[in-house]
């Protein structure tokens, strides 16, 4: 009897201790995850696709990173730089680097490596591609006064400079290698990251193993990872469901989530978040009758976004009704204020009646037909296309869809021959300067596929960019939003994407953020048995 | 005979040249190029025309067409397939694994198709115009009529729901891990093999019918000996030949043509590589793939023709 | 080839073309039940396509967010899809797309192919050799690549899909028709026509072409089934007909696959529709082939 009591006591004690144990990271295990697309090269400075980040980011570090536990995906955190200071005039940023950081080949990382990497990004030598060069147009020089200090000098102060350093693509490379061959990193991998490159079998997978000399002592927890390239989304879901893979870092559809939860119960944990991606409708102001703001307003008034949100969030990766900022973020317009803008009224009947009235006033006949150009990617372009065409039908517009395959899509947009087309915007961080840049006049933004000039809008943008007072900035952003979405209806916002990551409950230490480009270094991730 | 072989070999060259010219021009007519496909994925505000022009120069896309063509042809003459425009990796590396997968799948599917076609065809011929004949024809044509992606989706779903089993995510060559290899490929091989057995069955049935009409067979049937006779005499050999011909032709097609099957069964084969290469506007890779598949096709055609001429002396070739 | 020559001889006895197969149809149905089943399915598809606007219970394009993913019921016999659109109505209207694309592609492919084949056989010599080489080139091209390339150049949409599907069919038809046309070329009346000084076009179109109708017809019916499948495949890949048009292949992509477990009716019925239609065309074509020439090889 006494032994039985002992057993009981032991059982109770271990039960009480269990939740605590679950929080302590456990070492070991290989994380397997599918990646929907394969990167064309290994150079983060050159590529723009998440297909590079997911399998390759674990081999590198960046100067700064977004805090991996910040659900909002905006908080800067130290990475290779352990601290930083800004000068009083806001034009000089000084970073102190960690000591004792080793590249995978054993050599030490110092400030010259950071300088060489950022020189490659900001001032690429001829023949070397850097896709984010334009983001650092304000930077005058990058200096390395001593081995553990890096200094950035700017032309004028910028509220978004730190945010620009958080880009997950800014891998820190070795200066000596870059000096010998600036293209070396396109076809080779050698960084300071928590994992060491093992192999990349083309068309199949990438394998990384734990870096035993990682500078962040105690990390990583995993023994390694395996990124498997799987294009078909049904196959990715099946892999997670069959427990061959533990997580997919981009996002699954609501149907996949429901299937996984039904099949695996509490072996699956679901993390959800608004996604810093949205599809917009570019209305070509060069094509009649879309030069008439009444016609454009009618197009946005016809869309019942609230019904759309309810319905489409069941079948597509969209959900929230959004203005120019991701809902729930600091500068986003609160829902009741948003409801005052055209296209966001809660009364759908009133909205459609107004749309019809405007069309009639503008002289657009009933049954007027136009072509909507869409991009050939199934999710969520297709369902949003079907939804919008149906909504426009309800106000007497006869729309046919012309789908262009992704490789040729933006080439077609740049030709400027479209009438109404789907455009898209994805960011790695929520920041009004980055998110609202799209709406600037064509003369300032060549990627404006509405092809319009609006100096009032441009002025509002500049004002908000330089505003130091947060409330003042919010006010300016609201004005900007009102002009671009309501008064002039230059562009239409559809629905904010919604990121759904159902993953094996064995995966811990990974927090979802609004961006699928963030939090992929995998140093904080661990597996429970 | 030797003269015939030489003639056929030489005939392949202009055809291959024609294929090369056709794919070269066809690709350049398609709007967009690899640089646009890579850098215009987002309507990013940070795009620059200089960057794109630079890249084009590096890839040789700014040179006049005839120069690009001769450069490619020159490379082929040395069996140098060049580098992929998308990844800058050697094309042989890109194709290696996918080719192994597609080849194995095509072989397995053809074998399954043959194993189904021969007995079914013989059965249908022997029992011509009876219920068995109709049943065989319905069975095989059903295979031909069912969309492969539908069948595939149902198969995978069925395995998932009933057996809670999912095929391996990655292709391992058969000499590395035969179990994983077969666990992945048996399902699409069955689906594809079933689909293509219809053509072979039809052919087997029709040649078998011819054999059955032969006088000596009819005599044997009257005497009750016919079955043994058919199965042991050369009659069967002659009947099978056209069937093998047909299946070999299908095999050549299977090599690069299983795009939808590969997508549904999540196979990393030549079909999906084709689609990717075209969508990336990767000229060099697409060209290499087309040449590879076309060569294969012509070689198999050639081999079948030679086999036919050799095995059946009744056929004369000018 | 005895039976083939016999049939052709019968037809060749008349200098101007006739339509002898109308009478053969009834005979056909009696003697070949499988073919009759096939013909029945073909007829059903045609009727559905023609009367779609009369018999479909709902507008195939009307979204109904109150009835998304609804199971089959009295209101919606085959259920609804992810947008609340009635599956039955979409399948009925889908037959229209299938037949338009199928017929369009197979007619285009068969006519172009037979014209090339007959012309090539008629002129023989260098013209024949050149045409054969060109056809060989297209033959060696993977079918799907050709279709993908055409779609990439012309874009998606029904018209372009027809072109994309017809393209790989032309060389195959040309090859088969050429084989038959070579035999017809040897016919005495063709020589007579040439001696009489008839123009080439007239001989080709009025004397040779009608006499190779048998293999052309067989190819056309075989093509039709293939065209429907190819259209479904292209739509499944996202390269064919686009939303919100009702097309069977389109109905099998996206939501149908995702909800295959929770809403299987979305995937099952369009798949069945495709299978039955292609099945019907194949059965019919098979029996037609048997009736017209039981010894015609597959080539």
The predicted structure's pLDDT at residue B77? 82
Range of the domain at B118: 91-311
pLDDT tens sequence across C19-42:
666 666 666 666 777 888 888 899
pLDDT tens sequence across B124-147:
888 887 888 888 888 888 888 888
Please give the Cα distance from B201 to B179 (Å, whole number).
30
The predicted structure's pLDDT at residue A17? 47
**Contact check, Cβ <8 Å, C244/A255:** no
Range scoring the smallest mean pLDDT among A407-416, C1-10, C102-111: C1-10
Helix or strand run (H / E) with residue C104: helix C87-123
| A470, burial (CB in 10 Å: exposed 0-12, middle 13-18, buried 19+) | exposed
Residue in chain B lying closest to C279 (CA): B145
**Contact check, Cβ <8 Å, B150/C275:** yes
Range of the domain at A433: 274-499
Q: Can you tell me the mean pLDDT for A41-63?
A: 92
**Assigned domain for A233 exists:** no
- Assess contact for C190 and C209: CB atoms under 8 A: no
Residues of chain A contacting residue C62, judged by C-beta atoms under 8 Å apart:
390
> Which is more confidently placed, A166 or B202?
A166
In this complex, the chains that touch B, judged by 3 or more CB pairs closer than 8 A, are A, C
pLDDT tens sequence across C270-296:
999 999 999 998 888 877 777 776 554
Angle C167-C173-C178 from CA coordinates, rounded to 5°: 135
**Residues of A numbered 60-79 whose beta carbons fall under 8 angstroms of chain B's beta carbons: which are they?**
none
Same domain, A309 and A424: yes
Question: Helix C265-292 to helix C21-31 angle, to the nearest 10 degrees?
Answer: 110
- Assess contact for A376 and A409: CB atoms under 8 A: yes
- Assess contact for B143 and B191: CB atoms under 8 A: no
pLDDT tens sequence across A474-520:
999 999 999 999 999 999 999 999 999 999 999 999 999 999 999 99
pLDDT tens sequence across A238-296:
899 988 999 999 999 999 999 999 999 999 999 999 999 999 999 999 998 999 999 99
**Assigned domain for B79 exists:** no
What is this structure's pTM?
0.85
Q: In a mutagenesis test of the B interface, which of A235, A375, A465 is the best target, namely the one with the most B β-carbons within 10 Å?
A: A235
Report whether pLDDT(C188) > 60: yes
Return the closest-CA partner of residue A35 out of A274, A255, A279, A208.
A208
Beta carbons within 8 Å of A265's beta carbon, 6+ residues apart: none
Q: In a mutagenesis test of the A interface, which of C243, C258, C260, C264 is the best target, namely the one with the most A β-carbons within 10 Å?
A: C258
**Contact check, Cβ <8 Å, A129/B54:** yes
- HSE (CB half, 13 Å, CA atoms) of A364? 26
**Residues of B numbered 58-97 whose beta carbons fall under 8 angstroms of chain C's beta carbons: which are they?**
none
The predicted structure's pLDDT at residue C200? 77
The dihedral of CA C144, C148, C154, C160: what is its sign? positive
**Assigned domain for A286 exists:** yes
Strands, E assignment, A341-444: 368-375, 397-404, 420-426
Nearest beta carbon to residue C232 from set B19, B147, B290: B147
The predicted structure's pLDDT at residue A192? 94
Please give the Cα distance from C61 to B243 (Å, whole number).
47
**Residue ranges in chain B assigned as alpha helix (H):** 2-29, 34-39, 49-59, 65-77, 91-126, 131-145, 148-158, 178-213, 215-223, 226-232, 234-257, 259-264, 270-279, 283-311
Q: Using CA atoms in the order C251, C253, C257, C258, what is the torsion angle rounded to 10 degrees?
A: -100
**Assigned domain for B86 exists:** no
Place of tokens 């193993």: A209
Residues of chain B contacting residue A446, judged by C-beta atoms under 8 Å apart:
45, 47
Nearest beta carbon to residue C255 from set A259, A311, A315: A315
The count of structural domains within chain B is: 1
Residue in chain B lying closest to C232 (CA): B147
**Contact check, Cβ <8 Å, B37/A407:** yes
* Sheet with A149-154, edge to edge strand ranges: A81-86, A92-97, A149-154, A139-146
Beta carbons within 8 Å of B217's beta carbon, 6+ residues apart: B211, B226, B229, B230, B235
| Distance of alpha carbon A79 from the chain centroid | 20
The predicted structure's pLDDT at residue C299? 34
Same domain, A391 and A286: yes
Residues of chain A contacting residue B36, judged by C-beta atoms under 8 Å apart:
407-408, 410-411
Report whether pLDDT(C13) > 70: no
Same domain, A346 and A386: yes
Q: How far is C282 from chain B (nearest CA, A)?
A: 7
Q: Can you tell me the mean pLDDT for A312-317?
A: 93
Same domain, A122 and A186: yes
Helix or strand run (H / E) with residue A193: none
Classified as helix, coil or strand, B33 is coil
Place of tokens 């950035």: A152
**Assigned domain for A3 exists:** no
Report whether pLDDT(C191) > 80: no
Q: In a mutagenesis test of the B interface, which of C137, C146, C147 is the best target, namely the one with the most B β-carbons within 10 Å?
A: C137
Low-confidence residues in chain B, pLDDT < 50? 316-318
Please give the Cα distance from B298 to B293 (Å, whole number).
9
The predicted structure's pLDDT at residue A89? 86
| B75, burial (CB in 10 Å: exposed 0-12, middle 13-18, buried 19+) | middle
Can you read off the two tokens belonging to residue C246?
Answer: 């009702």
Same domain, A119 and A160: yes
The predicted structure's pLDDT at residue C6? 58
**Assigned domain for B43 exists:** no
Place of tokens 């479209």: A418
Average pLDDT, chain A: 90
Nearest beta carbon to residue A129 from set B32, B40, B55: B55
* ipTM summary value: 0.80
Residue in chain B lying closest to C231 (CA): B147
Same domain, A419 and A482: yes
Same domain, A217 and A189: yes
- Assess contact for B60 and B68: CB atoms under 8 A: yes
Nearest beta carbon to residue B268 from set A204, A426, A437: A204
Residues of chain C contacting residue A403, judged by C-beta atoms under 8 Å apart:
156, 238, 242
Same domain, A93 and A200: yes
| B192, burial (CB in 10 Å: exposed 0-12, middle 13-18, buried 19+) | buried
Task: Check if B138 contacts C (Cβ < 8 Å).
Answer: yes
The dihedral of CA A11, A16, A22, A24: what is its sign? negative
Same domain, A448 and A519: no
The dihedral of CA C262, C267, C272, C275: what is its sign? negative
Burial C172-205 (b: 16+ CB within 10 A, else e): bbbbbbbbbbbebbebeebeebeeeeeeeeebbe
* Sheet with A224-229, edge to edge strand ranges: A30-35, A224-229, A205-210, A195-201
Range scoring the smallest mean pLDDT among A2-16, A210-224, A342-356, B259-273: A2-16
- Assess contact for B114 and B243: CB atoms under 8 A: yes
Return the closest-CA partner of residue C224 out of C84, C109, C83, C93.
C109
Report whether pLDDT(C206) > 70: yes
Same domain, A443 and A413: yes
Please give the Cα distance from A329 to A430 (Å, whole number).
8
How many CB atoms are closer than 10 A to CB C34? 18
Q: How far is B163 from chain C (nearest CA, A)?
A: 14
Report whether pLDDT(A159) > 70: yes
Report whether pLDDT(A134) > 80: no
DSSP state of B86: T
The predicted structure's pLDDT at residue B315? 53
Q: How confident is the model at residue A6 (pLDDT cuts 50, 70, 90)?
A: low
Place of tokens 């990439």: C152
Nearest beta carbon to residue B97 from set A34, A204, A409: A204
**Assigned domain for B220 exists:** yes
Q: Helix, strand, coil: what percent of chain C each, to 5?
A: 75, 0, 25
pLDDT tens sequence across C167-186:
888 888 888 888 888 877 77
How many CB atoms are closer than 10 A to CB C41? 20
Nearest beta carbon to residue B203 from set C137, C138, C298: C298
Q: How confident is the model at residue C130 (pLDDT cuts 50, 70, 90)?
A: confident
Q: How far is C211 from chain B (nearest CA, A)?
A: 24
Length of chain C: 299
Strands, E assignment, A267-360: 268-283, 318-321
Q: What is the CATH number of the domain that holds A204?
A: 3.90.76.10
Compute the radius of gyration of chain C from its Cα atoms.
Answer: 22
Q: In a mutagenesis test of the B interface, which of C136, C286, C293, C296 is the best target, namely the one with the most B β-carbons within 10 Å?
A: C136
Report whether pLDDT(A21) > 50: no
Residues of chain C contacting residue B259, judged by C-beta atoms under 8 Å apart:
144, 233, 237
Same domain, A434 and A513: no
Q: Can you tell me the mean pLDDT for A40-56?
A: 90
**Assigned domain for A234 exists:** no
The predicted structure's pLDDT at residue B203? 81
Q: Can you tell me the mean pLDDT for C6-11?
A: 62
Please give the Cα distance from B117 to B141 (Å, whole number).
12
Q: What is the CATH number of the domain that holds B223?
A: 1.10.3720.10
How many CB atoms are closer than 10 A to CB C294? 12
- Assess contact for A441 and A455: CB atoms under 8 A: yes
The count of structural domains within chain A is: 2
Can you read off the two tokens belonging to residue C2?
Answer: 């005895």
Same domain, A464 and A486: yes
Q: Can you tell me the mean pLDDT for A201-206?
A: 87
Residues of chain C contacting residue A261, judged by C-beta atoms under 8 Å apart:
none
**Assigned domain for A201 exists:** yes
- Assess contact for C200 and C191: CB atoms under 8 A: no
Q: Percent of chain C having pLDDT more than 90?
A: 19
């Amino acid at each position: 009897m006494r032994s039985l009591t002992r057993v009981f006591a032991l059982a109770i004690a271990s039960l009480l201790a269990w939740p605590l144990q679950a929080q302590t990271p456990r070492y070991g295990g290989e994380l397997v995850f599918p990646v929907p697309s394969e990167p064309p090269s290994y150079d983060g400075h050159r590529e723009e696709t998440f297909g590079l980040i997911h399998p390759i980011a674990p081999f590198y570090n960046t100067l700064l990173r977004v805090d991996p536990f910040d659900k909002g995906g905006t908080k800067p955190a130290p990475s290779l730089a352990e601290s930083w200071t800004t000068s009083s005039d806001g034009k000089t940023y000084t970073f102190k680097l960690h000591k004792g950081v080793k590249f995978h080949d054993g050599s030490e990382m110092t400030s010259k490596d950071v300088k060489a990497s950022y020189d490659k990004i900001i001032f690429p030598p001829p023949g070397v591609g850097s896709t984010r060069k334009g983001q650092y147009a304000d930077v005058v020089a990058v200096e390395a006064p001593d081995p553990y200090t890096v200094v950035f000098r700017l032309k004028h102060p910028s509220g978004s400079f730190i945010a620009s350093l958080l880009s997950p693509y800014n891998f820190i490379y070795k200066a000596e290698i870059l000096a010998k061959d600036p293209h070396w990193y396109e076809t080779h991998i050698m960084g300071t990251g928590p994992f060491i490159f093992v192999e990349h079998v083309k068309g199949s997978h990438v394998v990384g193993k734990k870096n035993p000399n990682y500078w962040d002592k105690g990390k990583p927890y995993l023994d390694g990872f395996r990124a498997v390239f799987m294009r078909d989304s049904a196959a990715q879901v099946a892999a997670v469901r069959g427990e061959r893979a533990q997580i997919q870092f981009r996002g699954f559809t609501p149907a996949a989530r429901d299937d996984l939860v039904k099949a695996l119960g509490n072996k699956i944990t679901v993390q959800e978040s608004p996604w810093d991606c949205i599809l917009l409708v570019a209305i070509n102001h060069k094509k009649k009758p879309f030069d008439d703001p009444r016609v454009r307003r009618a197009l946005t008034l016809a869309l019942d976004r609230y019904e759309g949100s309810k319905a489409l969030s069941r079948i597509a990766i969209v959900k929230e009704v959004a203005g120019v900022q991701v809902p729930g973020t600091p500068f986003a317009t609160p829902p009741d204020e948003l409801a005052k803008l055209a296209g966001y009224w809660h009364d759908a009947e009133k909205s459609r009646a107004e749309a019809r009235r405007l069309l009639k006033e503008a002289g657009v006949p009933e049954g007027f037909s136009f072509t909507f150009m869409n991009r050939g990617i199934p999710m969520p372009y297709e369902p949003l296309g079907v939804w919008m065409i149906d909504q426009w039908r309800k106000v007497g517009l006869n729309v046919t869809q012309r789908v262009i395959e992704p490789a040729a899509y933006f080439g077609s947009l740049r030709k400027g021959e479209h009438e109404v087309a789907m455009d898209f915007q994805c960011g790695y961080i929520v920041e009004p300067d980055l998110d609202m840049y799209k709406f600037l006049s064509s003369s300032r933004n060549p990627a404006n596929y509405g092809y319009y000039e609006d100096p009032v809008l441009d002025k509002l943008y500049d004002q908000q960019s330089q505003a130091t007072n947060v409330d003042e900035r919010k006010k300016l952003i609201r004005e900007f939003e009102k002009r671009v979405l309501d008064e002039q209806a230059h562009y239409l916002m559809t629905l904010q994407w919604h990121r759904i990551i159902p993953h094996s409950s064995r995966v811990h230490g990974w927090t979802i953020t609004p961006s699928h480009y963030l939090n992929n270094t995998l140093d904080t991730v661990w597996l429970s048995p | 005979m030797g003269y015939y072989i030489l003639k056929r070999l030489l005939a392949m060259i202009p055809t291959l040249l024609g294929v090369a010219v056709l794919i070269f021009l066809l690709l350049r007519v398609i709007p967009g190029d690899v640089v646009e496909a890579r850098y215009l994925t987002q309507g990013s505000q940070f795009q620059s025309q200089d960057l794109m022009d630079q890249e084009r120069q590096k890839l040789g896309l700014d040179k006049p067409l005839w120069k690009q063509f001769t450069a490619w042809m020159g490379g082929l003459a040395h069996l140098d397939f060049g580098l992929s425009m998308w990844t800058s990796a050697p094309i042989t590396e890109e194709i290696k694994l996918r080719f192994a997968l597609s080849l194995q799948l095509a072989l397995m599917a053809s074998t399954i198709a043959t194993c189904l076609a021969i007995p079914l065809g013989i059965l249908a011929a022997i029992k011509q115009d009876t219920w068995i004949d109709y049943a065989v024809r319905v069975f095989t044509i059903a295979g031909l009529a069912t969309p492969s992606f539908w069948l595939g989706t149902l198969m995978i779903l069925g395995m998932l729901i009933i057996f809670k089993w999912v095929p391996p995510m990655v292709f391992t060559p058969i000499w590395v891990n035969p179990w994983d290899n077969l666990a992945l490929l048996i399902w699409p091989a069955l689906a594809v093999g079933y689909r293509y057995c219809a053509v072979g069955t039809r052919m087997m049935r029709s040649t078998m019918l011819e054999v059955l009409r032969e006088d000596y067979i009819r005599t044997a049937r009257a005497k009750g000996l016919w079955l043994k006779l058919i199965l042991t005499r050369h009659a069967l050999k002659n009947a099978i030949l056209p069937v093998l011909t047909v299946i070999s032709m299908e095999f050549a097609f299977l090599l690069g043509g299983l795009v939808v099957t590969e997508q549904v069964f999540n196979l990393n084969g030549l079909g999906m590589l084709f689609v990717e290469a075209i969508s990336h506007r990767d000229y060099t890779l697409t060209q290499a793939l087309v040449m590879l598949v076309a060569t294969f096709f012509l070689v198999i055609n050639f081999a079948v023709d030679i086999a036919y001429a050799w095995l059946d002396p009744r056929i004369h070739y000018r | 080839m005895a039976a083939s020559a016999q049939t052709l001889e019968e037809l060749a006895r008349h200098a101007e073309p006739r339509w002898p197969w109308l009478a053969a149809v009834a005979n056909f149905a009696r003697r070949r039940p499988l073919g009759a089943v096939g013909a029945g399915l073909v007829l059903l598809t045609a009727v559905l396509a023609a009367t779609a606007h009369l018999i479909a219970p709902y507008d195939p394009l009307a979204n109904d967010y109150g009835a998304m993913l609804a199971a089959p019921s009295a209101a919606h016999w085959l259920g609804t899809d992810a947008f609340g659109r009635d599956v039955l109505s979409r399948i009925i209207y889908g037959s229209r797309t299938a037949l338009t694309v199928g017929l369009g592609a197979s007619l285009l492919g068969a006519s172009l192919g037979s014209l090339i084949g007959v012309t090539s056989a008629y002129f023989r010599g260098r013209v024949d050799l050149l045409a054969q080489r060109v056809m060989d080139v297209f033959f060696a091209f993977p079918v799907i690549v050709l279709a993908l390339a055409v779609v990439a150049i012309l874009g998606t949409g029904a018209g372009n899909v027809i072109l994309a599907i017809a393209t790989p069919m032309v060389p195959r038809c040309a090859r088969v028709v050429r084989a038959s046309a070579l035999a017809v070329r040897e016919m005495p009346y063709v020589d007579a026509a040439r001696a009489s000084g008839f123009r080439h076009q007239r001989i080709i179109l009025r004397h040779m072409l009608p006499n190779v109708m048998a293999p052309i017809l067989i190819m056309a019916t075989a093509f039709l089934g293939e065209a429907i499948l190819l259209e479904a495949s292209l739509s499944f890949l996202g390269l064919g007909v686009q939303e919100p048009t009702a097309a069977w292949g389109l109905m099998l992509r996206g939501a149908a696959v995702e909800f295959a477990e929770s809403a299987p009716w979305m995937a099952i019925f369009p798949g069945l529709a495709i299978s039955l239609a292609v099945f019907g065309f194949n059965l019919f074509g098979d029996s037609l082939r048997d009736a017209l020439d039981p010894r015609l090889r597959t080539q």
